[in-house]
Amino acid sequence: MAAAGFNLASAGQQERRRRRDQLVTVLRSYLIPRLGEPDAPLLVVVAGPTGSGKSTIVNSIAEGEVSRPGPLRPTTRQPVVWCHRRHAERYSRIGSVECKVVGDDHPLLEDLTIVDTPDIDSYVAEHRAMTVEILHHADVVVFLTSAQRYADAVPWEVLGGIDRRGSEILYVLNRLSRRASGAVSDYAALLRRHGLAAGPGDPAVIPVQEQRVRGEAAALPAKAVSRLTDALRDIARRRVDVMSDITSRAVAYCVDEAEAVAAGVLAQHEERLRLEAVVDRVYEDAFDELTSELDGGSLIRTEVIERWAERVGTGDVARWIKGSASWLKNVADRLSGQPAAEVGRIEREARRELADAVTVRLERAARAVGTAWEVDDAGRALLTPDLRAAGGDVSDDTEAVIDRWLASLAALVEAEGPRRLRAARVASTGVNAAAVATILAVFSATGGLTGAEFGVAAGAAAAQQGILEHVLGQAAARSLAGSARDSFLDAVRQVFSAEKGRYRRVLEAASDPPRLADDVRAAAEAVAVSSEEFHAL
Ligand SMILES: Nc1nc2c(ncn2[C@@H]2O[C@H](COP(=O)(O)OP(=O)(O)O)[C@@H](O)[C@H]2O)c(=O)[nH]1
Ligand SMILES: [Mg+2]
């Protein structure tokens, strides 16, 4: 259950984390230790706001000084555990909180251990934290507040948590003056408004009248706290049943909350999928655009195509169309006459132009994801300057992918038409010339048109297709151009996937796998089963 990280900063995040934390706390701080030591006395924690008389009340129950009270705030700086002598060792620490232990042999302590705590509204944060932690371990809470301050000094959140997990809470209204007789029912109504169940017995709120503090022990007379003492004696008498009820309620709470945590895991997963879908759509659109530009002949600037075409000899097309075959010899001569470096340069230029065409689209896609995530809480929290732009290595990666494609293209040209290549005496120019022609055919988008259909007016584009067709034959030329196109798109898709992967990784790190929902439910089920076994003993 604790493994649910809920790192996706959506609107639901805080609530999911809060529920997970409460659930884990109930298991770790209450249920597991409690069921591990079923014979330990019930832990009764006296808590409340500053100066409400907690220490005085504990002393009054003990009829002696257990915890020093005082007008100076804060007086109680550490929990004081009043327990039976034979249990003294077990309480030097409760959870991670070090406690002062006062061993005694008061009959109440056979079944109960009573803890006086620092002020729950202390200005010392450490004191508040200690008290909250001790409260997590409580079987029974005595929540003490004074008649003067009850309206504004109740920590609803903390009490609500304890109430929900099923511990008993005794609400004590201290220092009541005889004149303020409506305070008890007013306080009870306030508690009910906040959804807090009435304590055991009647009345729900236990009143303690304002007294003069007497004696060295700084305690109230026993009679003043008799209703509270009676309630505690009753709980002590029913210790085994009370323990069983509280733990059963805690188990039921955990099972319910685990369901809520599991639902949170699934809801978070949905949110993650939505963000992922945005990324998929953006890159899908960018890829579709690139594909249609490729097929429409506008992926690479026309000037570049024409410059390349010039080198291979566009002017010869006219003669070819008129039936002269000498153009091919001219092309072959021109290419073979050129130093290898020249053909290499054409390739490099093609590579550069292509890499740019792809990179520009990836930059645009990254910005589009940035814009879309920006308007989503979770998305915005995940966006980094890196993610708002294409990956730092995207140019190099694209060039590498294109290099591999060009290499495979050379192999493809060899495989598709070596005989015709030889026959056409283009072999002397090497595969590169044919590869360059293929590149140009692909990027000048002659599509399925033949040179003749395209006509002289098509210029460079038709020339490339024409050369290829003449060299390889029409069918082979078309299939070669088609395979080259497809393998180019496959190669580009790899770069697109790698780019998308950056967002996927971030989303993966920020969200929990949906199977965790099942794990959480299974863990809750295991808790319920062990609890049933425990209660059957
Ligand atoms: N007169 C009178 N003083 C009280 C009563 N309860 C507490 N006090 C005083 O109020 C101050 C704070 O009490 P204390 O028990 O230390 O409060 P805590 O902070 O809640 O533990 C001390 O000076 C007590 O003597 C009471 O019922 N009557
Ligand atoms: Mg105190």
Percent of the chain residues past pLDDT 90, beyond the cut: 53
Q: Which residue has the CA at smallest separation from atom 11 of ligand 1?
A: 71
Tell whether ligand 1 has an atom less than 6 A from the beta carbon of residue 155. Answer: no
DSSP 426: -
Domain extent listing, the chain: 40-237, 273-513
d(C-alpha 459, C-alpha 306), whole Å: 8
Residue 465 has pLDDT above 80, yes or no: no
SS3 content of the chain, % helix, strand, coil (to 5): 65, 10, 25
Atom of ligand 1 nearest to the CA of 220: 27
Tell whether ligand 1 has an atom less than 6 A from the beta carbon of residue 220. Answer: yes
At 306, the pLDDT band (50, 70, 90 cuts) reads low
What residues contact residue 190 under an 8 Å CB cut-off, 6+ apart?
150, 151, 154
Name the CATH code of domain 40-237 (choices 3.40.50.1100, 1.10.3720.10, 2.40.50.100, 3.40.50.300). Answer: 3.40.50.300
Paired tokens of 289:
């655009």
Paired tokens of 357:
């065409």
Tell whether ligand 1 has an atom less than 6 A from the beta carbon of residue 212. Answer: yes
Tell whether ligand 1 has an atom less than 6 A from the beta carbon of residue 413. Answer: no
Predicted TM-score (pTM) of the model is 0.78
E-assigned strand segments in 105-246: 112-116, 140-146, 168-176, 205-209
Say how many Å lie between the CA of residue 231 and the centre of ligand 2: 21
Mean pLDDT in residue range 391-412: 83
Mean model confidence pLDDT for the chain: 82
Say how many Å lie between the CA of residue 56 and the centre of ligand 2: 7
pLDDT tens digits, 95-144: 999 999 999 999 999 999 999 999 999 899 999 999 999 999 999 999 99
Kind and range of the H or E run holding 80: strand 80-84
Look up residue 106 and give its amino acid: H
Testing ligand 1's pocket by substitution, the residue of 45, 46, 56, 73 carrying the most ligand atoms inside 8 A of its CB is 56
Picking from 468, 428, 426, the residue whose alpha carbon sits closest to that of residue 446 is 468
Residue 396 has pLDDT above 70, yes or no: yes
Contact 30, 165 (CB under 8 A): yes
CA–CA distance from 278 to each of 51, 271, 287, 387, 501 (Å)?
Answer: 56, 11, 14, 14, 13
Mean pLDDT in residue range 458-462: 48
Mean pLDDT in residue range 456-471: 54
Which of 97-106, 251-260, 317-326, 505-514 has the least mean pLDDT? 317-326
DSSP 472: H
Which of 53-62, 310-319, 332-341, 389-398 has the least mean pLDDT? 310-319
